[in-house]
Chains A and B, each alone.
Chain A
Amino acid sequence: MSERKRLHRDEPARVGPLRDFSKLYRRPDSVNGTNPAKPVRPDAPRKDRIGGPLAEGVELAYSVIEKYIAEGRRTAEGISNQPYTTRAATDNLQDILERVLRFQAEILPLWIETLATLVRVDPSRNGFAAVADAWPRANGGQNTETMAASIEVVSLRPVQVSVELRPNTKDQSLVALSLNAVDSRKPALTDISFVPDEARGRVKLRIRIPESQPPGTYSGVIVHRDSGETRGTLSIRIAD
């Protein structure tokens, strides 16, 4: 008769579900062990690795934002001409625009992170998420990193600053054009400059808010000093 011993369970590899969106992808045909999930080697060529689509997507996004701002400004200027066909739209246009801009300001801190995730894990691809690829590589493997910047605000009132810079914005030859409110009666914010931040070795965005500046949200674009190409957007909300 065999001597039985008490059996032990193996240490579990984990005790909870993976909730992290970036780690969830697996082979769709892996169910029931017929094709167990296998990690994709980080250096393996992947036909759908983000590159062209990323550039295209970001390009498109910025095009949209710029057009949105320009459209909004034109719309605001044209309110008196009642250019739109529905009364509801024109009655509260200012309110809508304010809300849109306010929401934008609120969401921006999350944007970079979320965009990074969306880009990092194209949900349509087959195969397990590779060990986290820090940031999608495009342009022959160069990191499409967003430039680090410090922000210095001189203001008597609370302000909220939101800056977006395109990936690959590395040099410091940037200029912020004047920031405008949707309400064209409000004066533009003009005292905005990019200066070197010697202590940190990066660029610093300096913003001075005049005491007389009316509260509201002011938006504008950041361009390359030499080429004039748009490199990002800047939005400032001044509290009452």
Chain B
Amino acid sequence: MPERNPIRVAVIGGGCASISTAFELSSPVHKGKYQVTVYQLGWRLGGKGASGRGPADRIEEHGLHLWMGSYENAFRLIRECYAELKRDRRKCRVADWRDAFSPAPFIGLAERTRDGSYWNFLSYFPPGDGLPGDPLGENDPFTVTSYLARTASILRTLLLAVQAGRSRRTSPRAGREHPNLRRTHQREPDNNEASSDPSQRFARLLGLGWIATTAGLIEAVEMLEIVFAPRSIYPVNGIVELLEVIAASARRQLEAIVENDPELLVLWQGIDLAMASMRGILRFGLVSDPRGFDAINDYDFREWLRINGASERSIQSPLIRGAYDLVFAYEDGDYQRPRHGAGVALRGALRMLFSSRGAIFWKMNAGMGDTVFAPMYEVLKKRGVAFRFFHRLERVTLAAPDELAEGERAYVKALEFDVQAKVKNGKAYEPLIDVGGLPCWPSKPDCSQLIDGSRFEREEWDFESHWDKRKADTKTLRVVDDFDFVVLGVGLGAIPHMCQDLIQRDQRWRDMVAHLKTVNTQAFQIWLSADMEQLGWSDPPLALSAFVQPFETWADMSHLIGEERWKVRPGAIAYFCSALKDQVSPRELSDTNYPKRRRMEVRENGIRYLNNDIVQLWPNAVRRRGEFKWDLLIDPTEKASNRKGRRNNEARFDSQYWRANVNPTERYVLSLPGTQKYRISPLDNTYDNLTIAGDWTTCGLDAGCVEAAVISGRLAAHAISSSPALEDIVAYDHP
């Protein structure tokens, strides 16, 4: 039975963090203690993860969303959500989380060769045991020693791949198997292998002659695996000695060999970076530093790798470029300023590489809105969570200092909203549409439910634009009367626009908005009549990064074809995304054409990319140098029979989907060196009745991603309800 006087929580925003908080606070374990209301700008939940269904029910995303296999909290959340939802698979094709997500075990990286062309390096990452969100087993993967052990393991795999590559090149009968496509490389027992006594093997390896051969290197790395195994205890200086010997020998042995072989070169760079990271972890004392990896956050990741002996070539390699691309780590979106805090980067890389389960990445089998936010909306609604769409928060007002009793902390007194639209007959807005039995979000609001809806359509009201301030009404919520606690779950970029009171009252809030930076992103999606093989791409579907900037990140999303409703079935779907350089930020509200200008800029970038760069990936997609085959693009509004009237030039790009994510709340948070200390925790109670939630908070990961947002949302719930327990937030406590 619900509580008679529940604690009322106003959750502002409907992204991953806010929804996680709502999910925790509305959990049955609280027995209705909290009455949660979510206030959402516009017509849909999702924040930066919002998606919609457009023409032909095609999926239109904010960008490319992949979940990592290490997103333990996020997967746990979504698994619980689907379990509670109990969808009937006979009626809904996405009934379970396994229907919603598919493993994506391949990662691709592009390397520019000397002649200016690009060479793609494809890698298969063997996942850890189990599935993301499963209970953690005996050996917690989120430990430094676990990371070191896995690094040693991958080092051996890389070395074996190099050895395989060398053999292949020297053997005329060598097969064409790609060394990186192998799951693991099991080494056959060596007849010459001496005693299995580790000390003897150690000593023999350190005899240097042996280690100077690749075989010796591999054996040495095997020793590292033993050393870093969970139950091993070895003196660190011995380990570092061994590492140093391996590094020196590997460099001498391999650099010359791999010089003219891009495939081996990338492998070597992986080895070099893995060893530099291992050395750095030991040399910087990160195993025992109470600050964990935060101890190196004042360094840029590249700078830190350089300090720890990585070669310049490795530091500039696609492996590192890909790591920066993954998190849009370009200050102000400027590719000349790649910057990423070393601690955050190292933590993220280790978690991604070594604690992923099931696969290194997971792709969604529909839009992120459809697979994550629609089921969440349904579950939360069933639990009694209220949703107020078309509510744009304009101002958070604090109680004035003279209103506070002695010793009383500052608190939020009022929340001022613009009500963008009102629903007819005082009803609640019904946000979901049915796409072949699957509840989905539309790309546009259903104006038929809104008072004056036809006028909004006619006048093209943009309910998600920061620059469109048109509204139907205003609303002010007051503490005690309307709410008890506030969860501020908007994007960091929006904070200065709505929280001036909070910023002016507290130095740390001023520091946070002054030092933590965000960046615009851009994305486009295309639907092609030819399949990937016909386009000239012969590798498995994958996400590829470190390619030509902008749009250096690309993913084959053809698995979504069956999810959309096309008259002419596409052969392939591809998503592209990247950072978008800042102009002046924040733009003045009066500059209402700013979003349109940026959107046109993205259009131009997309056209230029398809004309000039896509040929490196899809050689058959161009008519001639500098000219994309525009008729490959499928226009959802075009009739299949009307081939005469088709636009076959670059204007055809207009039938595709692209966007410039320039709204303040859409901006992606960066983890620039030296800025992590300015983050504020959801647990912080500077403002008595307010907590914050988002990937921009101190949430353990401290990087822009779904997992960070979910952790932050869980922390915000803990701040209000003391649940979940902090130790139950997976890997929140992490070096």
Contacts and interface: CB of A to CB of B under 8 A. Distances in A.
Contacts of A88: 212, 249, 252-253
Contacts of A168: none
A80 interface: no
Interface stretch (A51-59, A171-179, A206-214, A220-228): A51-59
Contact of B230 (A111, A113, A123): A123
B574 interface: no
A64 B237 CA distance: 11
Contact of B688 (A8, A63, A89, A110): A8
Contact of B140 (A7, A65, A123): A123
B725 A100 contact: no
A22 B723 CA distance: 24
A231 interface: no
A200 interface: no
Contacts of A47: none
Given A9-B485, A15-B684, A108 B237 contact: yes
Contacts of B666: none
A107 B237 contact: yes
B203 A118 contact: no
B213 to A, nearest CB: 6
B241 A68 contact: yes
B600 interface: no
A7 B485 contact: yes
Interface in B216-252: 230-238, 240-241, 244-245, 248-249, 252
A134 B481 CA distance: 53
Contacts of A185: none
A16 B290 CA distance: 12
Contacts of B720: 9
Contacts of B732: 17
Contact of B728 (A32, A113, A122): A32
A19 B735 contact: yes
B484 interface: yes
B145 A28 contact: no
Given A8-B689, A31-B730, A20 B292 contact: yes
Contacts of A99: 244, 248
Given A6-B411, A9-B688, A103-B244, A50 B230 contact: no
B681 A15 contact: yes
Q: Interface majority SS on B: helix, strand, loop or mixed?
A: loop
A18 B733 contact: yes
B467 interface: no
Nearest to B295: A19
Given A17-B732, A93-B208, A122 B233 contact: yes
A85 interface: yes
Contacts of A104: 237, 240-241, 244
A25 B140 contact: yes
Nearest to A162: B237
B237 A111 contact: yes
A12 B684 contact: yes
Contacts of B137: 28
Contacts of B699: 17
Contacts of B138: 28, 124, 126
B181 interface: no
Given A9-B688, A19-B734, A88-B212, A14 B683 contact: yes
Contacts of B206: 64, 67-68, 71-72
B336 interface: no
A25 B144 CA distance: 11
B626 interface: no
Given A9-B720, A37-B727, A67-B203, A89 B249 contact: yes
Nearest to A74: B207
Interface in B136-152: 136-140, 143-146
Interface stretch (B281-289, B321-329, B607-615): B281-289
Nearest to B411: A6
Given A9-B688, A19-B292, A124-B230, A113 B253 contact: no
A151 interface: no
Contacts of B204: 71
Interface string B676-700: 0000010111001101000000111
B618 to A, nearest CB: 42
Contact of A57 (B234, B241, B733): B234
B253 A111 contact: no
A140 interface: no
A83 B252 contact: no
Contacts of B637: none
A26 B727 contact: yes
Nearest to A63: B199
Contacts of B143: 21, 24-25, 123
A183 interface: no
Contacts of A90: 209
A89 B202 contact: no
Nearest to A48: B231
B213 A86 contact: yes
B724 interface: yes
A24 B734 contact: yes
B241 A7 contact: no
Contacts of B293: 19
B724 A33 contact: yes
A114 interface: yes
A96 B238 CA distance: 15
Contacts of B294: 19
A221 B438 CA distance: 73
B291 interface: yes
A92 interface: yes
A114 B282 CA distance: 8
Interface in A189-233: none
A240 interface: no
30 contacts: A2-B5, A6-B411, A6-B484, A9-B719, A12-B684, A15-B698, A16-B698, A17-B699, A20-B289, A21-B288, A24-B733, A26-B727, A31-B136, A33-B29, A50-B233, A60-B202, A64-B203, A64-B206, A65-B235, A65-B241, A71-B206, A86-B213, A89-B208, A99-B244, A107-B237, A107-B283, A108-B237, A110-B236, A114-B236, A123-B145
Given A14-B683, A15-B681, A86-B212, 17 more contacts: A5-B480, A17-B292, A19-B290, A31-B730, A32-B728, A37-B725, A50-B233, A58-B233, A61-B235, A67-B199, A75-B209, A85-B213, A89-B211, A107-B240, A114-B287, A122-B230, A124-B230
* A-B residue pairs, 4 tightest by C-beta: A19-B292, A84-B209, A89-B212, A67-B203
